[in-house]
Every structure is written in C-alpha cells, then in structure tokens.
C-alpha cells in the first residue's frame, strides 16, 4: 500500500519533478556515471525497462523510475549511512587515581559510508566530569625586570595547592624558567658579561647568564619542592626587550616524559612574563636560519640544548604541539601587553590570557580564574581532516538551541552535557577500496572520537556483469540492465550489425533529405527512431520531431499554464487565446459595481481592465480621486444612504451599488451639488491606503430661505440713491478743487501786472527842455490854448 501511494504521488508530480531533473542531463551510460551526477539520481537495472519508440533514460529520480515501470528491487540508489562502532556512556565523576575509565565524549568510534553529494549527520556529546586530575606547569620569565615577581612566588606552591584542592583532589605542580637565546644581539656576549651579564649595572650588579629554557621541577604532588626550587633562583639580564618564551613553551609541550604530563589529567601551562616574545624568523638576526623542528631538545641537565642552533617556533607550530599534548596555555601578562597576547589566543586553540599585577601579587587568583574559564568551555577540534571531506558543525549548548556553524559552548558548569551535530559530505570518489579516517576531540581533552570513512561510488548490480551475454546477442557485455556492444554492433541488444545501419538504412530515420537522423533527438536503431529522454519533457514522433516543451512561455510558465504544448504549438484551454495562452476572454472581472465595463474609464484586455482615464486605478478603474466626475459618481450614494432619494432609492440597489463608508461631519467643503429641493449638499471623497473609498458628508443640506420682495426693492432703490449721492459729492469735490486752482492763478497774474506798471525801478518819467509853444511852432502850428 505504501508503494502504491508513493507511485500515485509520483504520477501527480512527475512533470513538475521532470522540469527540475538533473539526472538525465548528464547522459549517463552506466550506473557508476549516474551516481556521480547528483545524489538524488538513481539507476534502473531492470532488463526490459522502457517502452517501444522511446529510449528511456535509466538514470533518473527514483520516483520517476518507479512511475515509468521500474520495479523497486532493480533500482540502484545508495545513500550515505553512518554506524556507531564504540559507544561507551559518558562518566559523571572522576572514578579514582588511575582515571583510565573516565569517558568525556560519546561515541568514541563511528563508521561512515559516504556517497558524494549526499551528506550524513551524526551527534557528538561532551561532558566535563567532576574532580578530574590537574597538572599545572608554571613557566616563568627570569629576566631582570621580573625580580619582584620572583620574590612574590617563593611560597606560591603551598598557597596554590591549597586553592586547587578546592577544585580537584588530584593536583600536581611543576616549575620551569626561561630568559632568551644566549647569543648576540639577544643577550650580552662580551667576555666581561659571560659570567655576570649585570657586570657594571649599578641598580643590580649580580645576575646569572641568560639561557633558553630550564625544567627545574617536573610535575609532582610534593608542592614543597616547588617552593624550594623557587628559593634557589636568580634573575638574568638580556639585551633586547623581547624574551625567548616561545622556545620554552614548545619544549614544555613536546617533552612530555621529562615534564611528566599525565594522559588522564587536565594540562595547564602558565606562562608568566612582562614583555613581548620573539617569533619565528627573529633568529635570523643572530644567523639562525634553521626552522624549529618541533622536537624535544632537553639535555641531561634539563636545559634546552638547541637554543643557539634553531630559530624561534612559529605560532602555527606552537598551536599544533600544544593541541597534540592537550595543553591549555594561560598567558599571565602585564596590562600593557594584554592586547598582543589576546590576539595570540585567536591563533592558538585552547589559550586564554589574564592580566598579571605588578610583582605577580594576583597570580593565584589569576590561575584559579583561568582554570574555571577553561573548565566552563568545550570546543571541538578536527585532526587529520581529509581534503575531500567537508564538515559542518552545529552546537547545541545548555539552552538547547541549535547554533549552526559553531563548534564551541561556553558558560558551562561542571557536569553539564553539550552536544554537537556534525554533518559530513564527500566531494568526489577516490579509487575503489579507499578508506580514510580523522579524529574529533575537545580542545585540551584526552578523549576523542575516531571517524572511519569509506565511499559508496559503485553499484551492486555490477557484481552480476556477464561477458558475451546471450542478452546482448553474445557480442556484448551485460551490466546493470544494459548491453555494451562490441565494435561493429549496435542496438539495445547488439542485434544490428554495422552493415545494417549504413547510409541507405539511415534514410528511413530522416524526415526529409538533408535533415538530421531522428531530428538529432533520437537514435536510429534497426531503421527505427528511438527518441531520447529529455530533462525538459517528452520527445516523440516518427522522426522525434515533436516535443511537449518547446512552446511559448509567459513568466517562465509553459503556455502560461492555460494550455498544452503539442509539437511546438500551444493548444489553449477554453477561455484563453494567444500564442502562449496568456490572454483570457472572460470579461466578468472587468465589470465595476455600477455595472459599467471598467467603470467607463478604461477597456477590458485579456480579462483585466486597462485604465485610460488619467488618475484612474483599481481592478475595475473604480478609483479616481482626480477625475472631474469623482464627486458626481458618489452623489447617488449620498442621496440614497442619507435621504432615501435619487436613482438608488431602492434599499437593495443602494446596498449593492454603494459599499463605501460614509462619515458624517458638521462642517465640510470639497464637493457640492444641488438637491431636488434646491438645497446645497457638501461632501468629501478620499481614498484610504487600504484602497477603500471613504465619503465624508454634512449631516443636513444647506437650504436658503426665499427673499422678501419689499426688502429687495428698498435695497435696490437705496443702493441707487446712495450711488447717486456719492457721484454728486465726488463731482462737487472735483469742481471746487478746479475753481480754487483757477482763482489762485488769477491772483498771481494780477499781482504781476501791478508790479510792472507802478513800481518798475527801471522806468523814468520823460523831461522836456523847451517850452511847449516853441515846440508847436516848429511844426508850423500855434496853439493859444493848452495842449489838446
């Protein structure tokens, strides 16, 4: 029943799956080639798979193969699988002094069989146990600037042991010192400084020669010996500021037996200094060109014997050796160098940094704090990671939330269990029989998970390969349902000889002269076209000339989803037209609520309104705030809703045609019209962001009272009289101003005439020097009377 249900589902989704199919695009000719195309691809090894006229691809999605008739037992579809080989439960507490049976990671060994491209996931759990043994090695800078610090730690062993007993019942302590390479330019090498580098240095005239590293006390539970060794130490003096501390760290990490690191214990290495370290390549200043070899070089005196022979170690080498020895490195440095060493912690896994006070007064609290920080974190690391495998981690910490891409959990308490989902994927197929392995381990833990990997790149049906099989007419190799014919033979069963597929016979597979055999989309076998399978759809026809996918599309959908593709042409379903069947002939969606096509503001094209009126929008162009008739179109709704008048007086019509919300306002002015009673109705029309129309109208229309005739007559007569009086007043004012101006001119003219006749200072009265009679006689006349 489940298989039948699966087949029915496949029938429904076959064409959809086929359009996304990548399995047939690779033209795989064998089962192994098919498996390499994509992890979803499967191969049908059934001998009689397919139907006449079609070359069914045996490489396809498994559901497609079942749909096309391949029985499930013949389908080759290997998947990536994992199996746990060792799965001892996690411990909750340390179980004694040996610690051999303490388990902090689960599982411990796992086997993976990977198909390329098909990732598989497994879970890893980690739980730090209580009361786990601790080995602490104190590595101290003995340069001259650390003299006060040396005095401070002379009783460190006893005090530190007391504090650490609160955290673990099994604690051991060791002690080592360093300065720098005893060679120029790092140290004073002149003869007078060979025994006493402080010779002539007044602040501190006596010190010991510089050295690379000395293991003064291997790890021991006798903490009094630590105090004794510290009491014996004296500081030294080097020339440059950087110290040779990284030489010392490497030797403390790789000389496991000499230092005394236990396998079943936390390894803490405290590095105390007040300056920066020398790094790789600094040794070239002294002529040291040989890189560090990462090996232990402690002599019989427990001193670093290769200090003057090899360069300083690199950060990469340092991180590798610390991880191999499961050592947590604690940088105890002064505040001014904190940032530098903090940057080192990002490059060296399992490393923390704490600020060291002047004279190392806080060293005990520093170590306890650093230890608690280390114990509160779990971080996974991968060792011997094969290049062709990709790993992805997802951390699930104490809150239970998945954190993709992370392989670390913090803020844990002792006894908390955290888990990590590890997804692994193979990138390719190595030679058959190849097996690889790698290790996953928490940083600083001895516990580890061993992962063994093999590859699933072959098909089970290849074990049944038959040479010169009768299924292949005894001239081919039968493997996984197909025949690989010998040269000179063709056909699904190698049934056609080379002479039977000559040019004359190939003509039967051409649609016309000059065209390709089987239209280039099939194989001519024994004078008949066998059409290829396509990832896009079905190829068919006598000459494979037709298909059901080479038709016009709309928005990427074949025939717009409203038609069927037949031999390159869309056959549209009822109600659709066009080359790609994207045009609907239905107009119902274009009719607006008022019964008009596109509200009279556009045309219906392919079942949708195309608005032609500027400012119109909406499915039926019903919205148009800027149209000149926007108010008029809403008038009938105001009439029917508020006054039960107008064209929509009938209640059903009003409810059907007027679905807009009407808001009544006391004062409003935007749209207005005259009612049947010659009143004025005012309302507004607006569009909300939701697209709904909102009408806001006055509660009552404004109706003016009829005017009184006598009042109007008196108002008109009064207005005429008032205008006449005003005109007369204006005329009188103008005449008065004119007369006054003329009189003023007259007065001015008369004043000037009087001045000329009576008071001209240049005028003199004429005077005569002869009598008047003489004058008249001279003219021949005599006048006895006066002058006339």
Residues 6+ apart with CB under 8 A from 169: 131
pLDDT digits (tens, 9 = 90+) for 586-624: 888 898 877 788 888 888 888 889 998 888 888 888 888
The C-alpha atoms of residue 682 and residue 672 are separated, in whole angstroms, by 4
Give the range among 39-48, 142-151, 543-552, 696-705 with minimum mean pLDDT: 696-705
pLDDT of 688 reads 59
The C-alpha atoms of residue 246 and residue 424 are separated, in whole angstroms, by 36
The C-alpha atoms of residue 485 and residue 483 are separated, in whole angstroms, by 6
Range from 61-70, 371-380, 418-427, 556-565 that averages highest in pLDDT: 418-427
Strand 539-540 versus strand 569-572 pairing type:
unpaired
Task: Answer yes or no: is 577 within a domain.
Answer: yes
What mean pLDDT, rounded, does the chain reach? 82
Buried b (16+ CB within 10 A) or exposed e, 570-599: bebeeebebebbbbbeeeeebebeeeebbb
Q: What confidence category does residue 776 fall into, taking pLDDT thresholds of 50, 70 and 90?
A: very low
Task: Answer yes or no: is 477 within a domain.
Answer: no
Structure tokens at 306: 């290769």
Instruction: Give the domain extent around 109.
Output: 81-92+102-127+379-455
pLDDT of 706 reads 62
H/E element, 570: strand 569-572
Structure tokens at 11: 């029938």
Do 37 and 117 sit in the same domain of this protein? no
pLDDT beyond 60 at 717: yes
How distant is the alpha carbon of residue 534 from its chain centre? 36
pLDDT beyond 90 at 664: no
Query: Residue 409 — φ and ψ, nearest 5°?
Result: -125, 140
Do 360 and 405 sit in the same domain of this protein? no
Q: What confidence category does residue 339 fall into, taking pLDDT thresholds of 50, 70 and 90?
A: very high
The CA-atom distances, in angstroms, between 383 and each of 236, 262, 648 are: 40, 21, 85
Task: Answer yes or no: is 594 within a domain.
Answer: no
pLDDT digits (tens, 9 = 90+) for 415-440: 899 999 999 999 888 888 889 999 99
The C-alpha atoms of residue 458 and residue 32 are separated, in whole angstroms, by 6
| CATH code: domain of residue 568 | 2.10.25.10
Do 557 and 656 sit in the same domain of this protein? no
Do 156 and 182 sit in the same domain of this protein? yes
Task: Answer yes or no: is 707 within a domain.
Answer: no
Please provide the DSSP assignment of 243-307 as one string.
B-HHHHHHHHHH-HHHHT--SSSEEEEEEEESSPBP-TTGGGGGT--SPP-----B-TTSBBTTT
Task: Answer yes or no: is 535 within a domain.
Answer: no
Give me the mean pLDDT over the 242-269 stretch.
Answer: 93
Task: Answer yes or no: is 408 within a domain.
Answer: yes
Looking at the structure of the chain, the number of domains it has is 5
Task: Answer yes or no: is 746 within a domain.
Answer: no
DSSP 8-state code for residue 340? H
The C-alpha atoms of residue 289 and residue 281 are separated, in whole angstroms, by 8
Do 150 and 187 sit in the same domain of this protein? yes
pTM over 0.75? The answer is no
How distant is the alpha carbon of residue 588 from its chain centre? 45
The rounded percent of the chain whose pLDDT value lies above 90 is 31
pLDDT beyond 60 at 782: no
Task: Answer yes or no: is 231 within a domain.
Answer: yes
Give the range among 27-31, 462-466, 649-653, 743-747 with minimum mean pLDDT: 649-653
pLDDT digits (tens, 9 = 90+) for 345-395: 999 988 999 998 877 888 888 899 888 888 888 999 999 999 899 999 999
Residues 6+ apart with CB under 8 A from 410: 376, 377, 397
């Amino acid at each position: 029943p489940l298989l039948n249900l699966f087949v029915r589902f496949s029938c429904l989704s076959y064409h959809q799956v086929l359009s996304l199919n990548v399995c047939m695009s690779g033209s795989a000719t064998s089962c192994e080639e098919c498996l390499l195309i994509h992890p979803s691809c499967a191969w049908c090894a059934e001998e009689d798979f397919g139907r006449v006229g079609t070359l069914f691809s045996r490489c396809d999605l498994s559901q497609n193969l079942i749909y096309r008739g391949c029985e499930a037992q013949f389908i080759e579809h290997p998947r990536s699988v994992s199996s746990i080989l060792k799965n001892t439960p996690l411990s909750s507490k340390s179980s004694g002094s040996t610690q051999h049976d303490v388990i902090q990671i689960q599982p411990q060994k796992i086997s993976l069989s990977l198909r390329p491209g098909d990732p598989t996931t497994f879970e890893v759990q980690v739980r730090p146990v209580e009361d786990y043994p601790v080995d602490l090695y104190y590595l101290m800078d003995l340069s001259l600037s650390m003299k006060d610090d040396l005095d401070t730690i002379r009783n460190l062993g006893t005090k530190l042991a007391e504090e650490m007993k609160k955290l673990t019942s099994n604690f051991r302590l060791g002690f080592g010192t360093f300065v720098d390479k005893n060679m120029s330019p790092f140290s004073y090498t002149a003869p007078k400084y060979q025994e006493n580098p402080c010779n002539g240095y007044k602040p501190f005239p006596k010190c010991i020669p510089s050295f690379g590293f000395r293991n003064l006390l291997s790890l021991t539970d006798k903490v009094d010996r630590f105090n004794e060794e510290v009491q014996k130490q004296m500081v030294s003096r080097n020339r440059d500021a950087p110290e040779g501390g990284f030489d010392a760290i490497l030797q403390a990490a790789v000389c496991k037996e000499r230092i005394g690191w236990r396998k079943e214990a936390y390894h803490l290495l405290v590095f105390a200094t007040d300056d920066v370290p020398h790094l790789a390549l600094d040794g070239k200043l002294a002529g040291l060109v040989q890189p560090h070899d990462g090996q232990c070089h402690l002599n019989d005196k427990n001193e670093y014997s290769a200090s003057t022979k090899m360069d300083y170690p690199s950060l990469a080498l340092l991180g590798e050796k610390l991880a191999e020895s499961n050592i947590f490195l604690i940088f105890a440095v002064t505040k001014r160098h904190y940032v530098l060493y903090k940057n080192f912690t990002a490059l060296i896994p399992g490393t923390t940094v704490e600020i060291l006070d002047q004279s190392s007064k806080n060293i005990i609290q520093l170590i306890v704090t650093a230890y608690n920080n280390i114990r509160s974190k779990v971080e996974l690391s991968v060792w011997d990671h094969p290049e062709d495998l990709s790993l992805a981690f997802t951390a699930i910490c104490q809150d239970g939330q998945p954190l993709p891409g992370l392989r670390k959990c913090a803020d844990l308490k002792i006894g908390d269990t955290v888990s990590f989902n590890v997804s692994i994927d193979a990138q390719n197929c190595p030679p058959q029989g190849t097996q690889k392995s790698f290790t996953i381990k928490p940083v600083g833990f001895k516990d580890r998970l061993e992962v063994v990997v093999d590859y699933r790149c072959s098909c089970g049906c290849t074990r049944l390969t038959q040479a010169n099989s009768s299924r292949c007419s005894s001239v081919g190799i039968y493997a996984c349902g197909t025949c690989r014919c010998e040269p000179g033979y063709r056909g699904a069963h190698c049934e056609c000889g080379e002479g039977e597929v000559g040019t004359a016979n190939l003509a039967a597979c051409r649609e016309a002269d000059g065209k390709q055999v089987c239209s280039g989309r099939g194989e001519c076998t024994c004078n008949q076209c066998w059409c290829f399978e396509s990832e896009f759809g079905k190829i068919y026809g006598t000459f494979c000339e037709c298909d059901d996918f080479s038709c016009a599309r709309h928005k990427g959908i074949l025939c717009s989803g409203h038609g069927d593709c037949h031999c390159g042409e869309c056959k549209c379903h009822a109600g659709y037209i066009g080359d790609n069947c994207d045009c609907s002939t239905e107009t119902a969606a274009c009719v607006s609520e008022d019964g008009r096509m596109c509200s009279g503001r556009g045309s219906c094209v392919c079942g949708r309104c195309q608005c032609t009126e500027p400012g119109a929008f909406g499915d039926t162009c019903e919205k148009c705030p800027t149209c000149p008739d926007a108010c008029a179109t809403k008038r009938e709704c105001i009439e029917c809703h508020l006054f039960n008048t107008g064209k929509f007086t009938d209640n059903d019509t009003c409810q059907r045609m007027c679905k807009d919300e009407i808001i009544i306002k006391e004062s409003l002015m935007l749209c207005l019209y005259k009612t049947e009673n010659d009143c004025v109705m005012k309302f507004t029309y607006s569009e909300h962001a939701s697209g709904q129309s909102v009408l806001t109208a006055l509660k009552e229309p404004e109706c003016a009272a009829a005017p009184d005739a006598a009042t109007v007559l008196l108002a008109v007569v009064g207005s005429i009289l008032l205008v006449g009086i005003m005109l007369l007043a204006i005329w009188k004012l103008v005449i008065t101003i004119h007369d006054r101006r003329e009189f003023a001119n007259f007065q001015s003219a008369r004043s000037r005439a009087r001045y000329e006749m009576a008071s001209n200072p240049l005028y003199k009265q004429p005077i005569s020097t002869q009598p008047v009679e003489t004058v008249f006689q001279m003219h021949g006349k005599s006048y006895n009377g006066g002058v006339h």
